[in-house]
Amino acid sequence: MKRESRKIDKRAADSKPAGAEPSAESAFASFAAPLVDHAIECANAVHDDASPEPLHALRVSLRRLRSLWWAFEPLLDKGENTRQRALYKYLATAAGKTRDWDILIELIAQDESVARKMTPKLVEARGGALATSRETLSNADVKQLLQDALTRANKELNTAHERVSLQKFADRRVATSERSLKKRIKRASHAKRSNYAAFHDVRKSGKKLRYLLEFFEPVLSGSHKRILKRLIQIQKRFGALNDIVASEMLLRDNMGLLAGSSDTDAALHWLRNERKRRMRAAAGLLRKM
């Protein structure tokens, strides 16, 4: 991520004419191009490396792209922007199906007695998911899709008649994202513990704001170090909760793979208790905000 940020900073600086304030339209490519390159690199790695890291990196990269397209939504064709963000979500979900098995395997490994019997079957299921992920990403032609999306967005922005100050634009989009996060935090703070959706909304909104701060940090007015620190806390605590919820759901949806195994009940019992613990921890963090 730091390497990507350095690339973005350098390209933004190179695109700024001497003595002129850069516009959001002219700076878009300096943000988007490194992300597109990185996503393509990750997609290629998925086909050569079956380990969890490339899949996780690809999913994160696609989520960052989706957030960037959201940030520039006011300057882009609404219909095209919506379709593009849906595409990024679809590709991230394709990578995520295998990543979800990786997380479940990692969690089950915490109980050696259960992991010893369940892991071989989980690894087998993970192999099937990986084959599907690879096929989906290959058929989608990720490289061409992302490069075409970048070209279209660039063309639209570069031919726009009006120009918006990058700093003012970035400040407004970050402020909009901050307001959205505050609303979701308030809603989740009053929600019942069983209402995981409210907690999940906080996580998604917090992640989007964090990405925006990382994109625009060099040009934003004022300091955002305090809010960024809080966002890291949200992502860590709510991400841990999401891992448990997703793993419990994945195991329940694939009970046929482990039919007749008492270890499945033990695993579900552990996941259920861990979910409650992590839900309390997430709720505790909200009370401090």
CB 185 within 8 A of CB 174: no
Kindly report the number of other CB atoms within 10 A of residue 131's CB atom: 12
**In which element (H, E) is residue 185 found?**
helix 166-189
Distance (Å, whole) CA 174 – CA 219: 12
Count of Cβ atoms closer than 10 Å to residue 162 Cβ: 7
Query: What is the model's pTM?
Result: 0.87
What is the maximal distance between C-alpha atoms in the chain? 72
Q: What is the pLDDT of residue 240?
A: 95
Distance CA 58, CA 97 (A): 12
Mean pLDDT by 10 residues, the chain (289 residues): 46 46 93 96 90 90 97 95 95 91 92 84 91 91 94 94 94 97 93 88 96 94 89 94 95 80 81 92 87
CB crowding 217-237: b at 16 or more within 10 Å, else e: bebbeeebeebeebbeebeeb
Using alpha carbons only, give the angle 171, 176, 178 rounded to the nearest 5 degrees. 95
44: containing domain: 2-287
| Residues 217 and 178: beta-carbon distance below 8 Å | no
Rounded distance between C-alpha atoms, residue 246 and residue 3, angstroms? 30
Residues forming beta bridges with residue 257, ordered by sequence position: none
Which residue in 114, 195, 146 sits closest to 38, CA to CA? 146
SS (H, E, C) 256-270: HHHCCCHHHHHHHHH
Closest by CA position to 212, among listed 243, 188, 250, 180: 180
Distance CA 222, CA 191 (A): 33
For residue 259, the model assigns a pLDDT of 64
Long-range contacts of 127-131 (CB under 8 A, 24+ apart): 129/97, 129/98, 129/100, 129/101, 130/50, 130/55, 130/98
Say which CATH number the domain at 23 has: 1.40.20.10
Residues 6+ apart with CB under 8 A from 44: 143
- In this prediction, residue 272 carries a pLDDT of 92
CB atoms within 10 A of CB 179: 12
**How many separate domains does the chain show?**
1
CA distance 289 to 287: 6
pLDDT number for residue 103: 94
* Interatomic CA distance for residues 207 and 62, integer angstroms: 13
What pLDDT, on the 0 to 100 scale, is given for residue 262?
63
Q: CA-to-CA distance for 284 and 223, rounded, in angstroms?
A: 26
The DSSP 8-state label assigned to residue 160 in this structure reads: -
